[in-house]
Copies of this chain bind each other. A is one copy, B any other.
Amino acid sequence: MYKATISITLRPSILDPEGKTVHHALTNLGYDEIDQVRMGKRAEVWIDEEDEDDARRVATKACEKLLANPVTENYEIHLEAVSPDEMSNASTG
């Protein structure tokens, strides 16, 4: 089993109103050292495949079909082998 940690970020040319709002709020709180904020998404996906290439294929398809908008977003997949126990820990605490 593999755990895919997927980072989904807006493409650099796309405006990020959420990031601008967060930046503005942080400036109001006194954090003048912060120059820019870009917000994105993160997905953790547990994939029941023995082979890393198969797991990467599933994660890539999940990004392309559902998780990321190919026009406005980039995605990056980081895979790590995990035991099935680690999955159930994640859902029950």
Residues of chain A touching chain B, judged by Cβ–Cβ distance below 8 Å, are 1, 7-9, 11-14, 19, 22, 25-26, 29, 31, 33-49, 54-55, 58, 61-62, 65-67, 84, 87, 89-93
Contact = CB atoms under 8 A, between A and B. Distances in A.
Contact of A42 (B40, B54, B91): B40
Contacts of A40: 41-44
Contacts of A92: 12-13
Which of A7, A11, A36 is the most central at the interface, judged by chain B CB atoms within 10 Å of its CB? A36
Of A31, A48, A49, the most chain B CB neighbours within 10 A belong to A31
A38 to B, nearest CB: 4
Contacts of A14: 93
